[in-house]
Chains A and B, each alone.
Chain A
Amino acid sequence: MIEQNVVKVAMADLNVIKQFGLIRTSGLGSCIGLTMYDPILHLAGMAHVMLPSSEIARDGEINVAKYADTALPALLERLQKMGSSKSNIVAKMAGGSQMFAFGGQNDTMRIGPRNTESCRTKLQELGIPLIGEDTGGNYGRTIELDCSTGILYIRSVQMGAKEL
């Protein structure tokens, strides 16, 4: 067995990986696992986005990886710093589910769809094409991006495995 290089991305965190190995984040519920991939350099980046907008942030120094509107530009910048050209980068995302259904609910419980929407908008603003998406539903997901192929593997308890 060849030991594979796996980079884990925690909740409200982002990271990148180059050439070989997997980048993964587990237990996505309402959060979004957003990946950016450069197929030329085999460069992959992933952010585990928790909230749609940093406008609600109440602490002075914000963790940019936590919010869709700040995490996506930060991730793009990381890839660009490693030599990637924006025109080569494509995005995929998964998560944004609604795990619990409460009748007549407030916005907090609709956080999944809001996160999804916010990521889509931000990608558009950045001009990065979204080429794969597995969002919504009422179940959790674990995702893994293969850095050498750009394939995104999605696992869930209820729906089994899937790739994008």
Chain B
Amino acid sequence: MRVFKHFKEFKMDVLKEVGNIGAGNAATALSRLLNKPIDMAVPKVQILRFEEVSDKVGGSEQVVVAIFLRVEGDAPGNLFFILSPKSAKSLLRRLAGIKVANDESFNDMEISALNEIGNILSGSYLSALADLTKLTMSPTVPSLAIDMAGAILSYGLLQYGEMGDDALLIDTTFLEGNHEVEGQFFLIPDPESFAIIFESLGVPFEND
């Protein structure tokens, strides 16, 4: 994606802010769910080789819990909410009303709850983004997978596959006070969406 290589720092900052606002809203939602403060790291906006994208969560073979949804509307893209299995278990334990087994596997109840949490969080992420940009962004029904990071994240890269060998990723990490729940949001806008996002925010978009 040669186009992105030339994004000026200012534009990267704009995208950071996009991640900040989306994930900030999601973190607030999570904080309400858990009734605990949630910290958030400064978003990272990076152009990565396909292979490097899964390195962000521990390598392509690392098992992760991922909630994936496709963003449709004016500025399509892919949104992932990613947790380690350990974090996912801690998150479930903190929510009232669910008995959580100690083993590695997830039962139907736990998966359903995670799906719902993912739904709420990604919904808040997107609605903050839509408010900010005044663009229509509607999420598909989220889908959950517990599997190798490489296998999961490759779905977010398909749109880039047609153009080049790297993708632009807006990555925001948040954690609960004592680090027991740590999650990541990856927003990977489709290549065509950048011009639309920038324009909606009043940033002139040229390919320079």
Contacts and interface: CB of A to CB of B under 8 A. Distances in A.
Interface in B112-129: none
A108 B165 contact: no
Contacts of B141: 102-103
Contacts of A30: 151, 154-155, 158
B162 A158 contact: no
Given A27-B154, A66-B165, A100 B61 contact: no
Main secondary structure of the interface of A (DSSP, over half): loop
Nearest to B51: A10
Interface string A88-108: 000000000101111100001
A158 to B, nearest CB: 7
Interface in A45-102: 50-51, 56-59, 63, 66, 97, 99-102
Interface stretch (A15-23, A118-126, A137-145): A137-145
Interface residues of A, number: 35
Interface residues of B, number: 32
A34 interface: no
Given A51-B161, A66-B161, A102-B143, A11 B63 contact: no
A22 to B, nearest CB: 14
B163 interface: yes
A100 B63 CA distance: 16
A13 B165 CA distance: 10
Contacts of B163: 57-59
A51 B162 contact: yes
A97 B147 CA distance: 12
Contact of A100 (B50, B155, B159, B161): B155
A100 B51 contact: no
Interface in B70-113: 70
22 contacts: A10-B50, A11-B150, A12-B165, A26-B150, A27-B148, A27-B151, A28-B151, A29-B151, A29-B152, A30-B151, A31-B151, A50-B158, A56-B162, A101-B143, A102-B70, A103-B141, A109-B155, A139-B147, A140-B151, A142-B60, A142-B61, A157-B148
Interface of A: 10-13, 26-31, 50-51, 56-59, 63, 66, 97, 99-103, 108-109, 111, 138-142, 156-158
Interface of B: 2, 49-51, 54, 59-61, 63, 68, 70, 140-141, 143, 145-152, 154-155, 157-159, 161-165
